[in-house]
Amino acid sequence: MLVLGIETSCDETGLALYDSETGLRAHVLHSQVAVHAEYGGVVPELASRDHVRKTLPLLRQVLDEAGARPGAVDGVAYTAGPGLIGALLVGASIGRSLAWAWGVPAVAVHHMEGHLLAPMLEPDPPAFPFVALLVSGGHTQLVRVDGVGHYRILGESLDDAAGEAFDKTAKLLGLGYPGGPAVAREAERGDPERFRFPRPMTDRPGLDFSFSGLKTFALNTLQEVGADARSRADISRAFQDAVVDTLAIKCRRALQETGLQRLVIAGGVGANTALRERLAVIAAEAGGRVYYPRPLFCTDNGAMIAYAGSVRLAAGQHEPLAIEARARWPMESLAAL
C-alpha cells in the first residue's frame, strides 16, 4: 500500500510517500522559520497562507522523487489535529480532496501519534510496549504505549511545554527563533557551575511537568547579571541543564513505575544532543535502551504522518467525505488497533 502523508499542523509543510512493503519512498519538507523569525514565534495566519502556497508544489516534488504517478497512490493520510486550526484545515482539505479525486480512502492522523510512531521508520524500531516521551513546542507528555492506539497518558505539562519554554527563553535572551537550537548552541559555551536553575516538580510524586517557572527564573537571572555574551551563554547552559535533568528524572520514574525498559523519545526537542545523551544513560540503567527517530524526523514531517496513516488504513480505518480538523484532540480518544 502506497500512502501519501501530508503534515500542516504548525509551521512546517511536509509531504511523504510511504510504501507498506518497501518503506519510505520519498519525503519533502518546507520550513517556515524565515517567515516567522522576525516575529519571534509562529503567526497562525501567515502559517496557513504559506501552507496554501507550498502544499501542491511539494506534492508534485514528492511524486517526482518517488517516481510515482498519482494513480499509484492507494491512500491519503493528513494531520487533522492537534495544532493551529487554520493550518490544519489546509492539509485536511487538500488531503481529503485528493483522496476523493483519486478514488482512494483517506485517514485523519493525530499529530502526536505521528511523532510517537516516527521511530518505526528507523531500521531498528522499538517493540511494544514502551514508554514514550513526546517533547515538542506544543506538548510535553509521558505515555505508556502498548500498541497503536493503546495509549495511557502518565504525565504532561501543566503549563508551557519544554519546547515552548526554550523558545520563550531564547527570545528574552535575544537569541532568535527557533529557540531550541539557539539555546543549545549558546549552552555549549556556557559555564555549568555559574548558575543552577530549579528542577520543577521533581521533589514530589507524579509524572507531570511545569516549565513556565524556568522561563521566569531565566528572566530574573538575566536582569540581575546583565545581558553580556558570557551571561547569555551561562544562562542558556543552566536553563538547558534544568530542562534535561527534569525530563530525565521523570523518564526514570516512568520506567520504574511501569516496569518497562524501552524508552522512545520523539518531537522537536528530542533532537537536543544533551537530552539524548542523558536519556540513553537512564534507559541503560533500567536495563533497556532508548529509541529516537533520526533528527530530520524529530521535527514535524510528512513521513511520520504517512507511516501512521498506513497503519490505520491497513486496519480498515478511513474518513467520510466531511472535512474535520481539531485544534485539541486527546490522544487517549484514538481508536485502538
Annotated binding site for Fe cation: 111, 115, 300
What is the three-class DSSP state of 313?
Answer: helix
Distance (Å, whole) CA 238 – CA 314: 46
Alpha-carbon distance of 296 to 191, in angstroms, equals 29
| Annotated binding-site members for substrate | 134-138, 167, 180, 272
Cα 116 to Cα 111: distance, rounded to the nearest angstrom: 9
Supply 337's cell numbers: 488497533
Close Cβ partners of 203 (under 8 Å, ≥ 6 residues apart): none
* Sole residue written with cell 517567515: 35
How far apart CA 99 and CA 172 sit, in angstroms, is 44
**d(Cα 302, Cα 198) in Å, to the nearest integer?**
37
Bind-site residues: 111, 115, 134-138, 167, 180, 272, 300
Q: Where are the alpha helices (DSSP H) in the chain?
A: 33-36, 44-66, 85-102, 111-117, 162-172, 179-187, 212-225, 229-258, 273-285, 302-314
Is residue 114 a contact partner of residue 123, using CB atoms and an 8 Å limit? no
CB of 117 closer than 8 Å to CB of 305: no
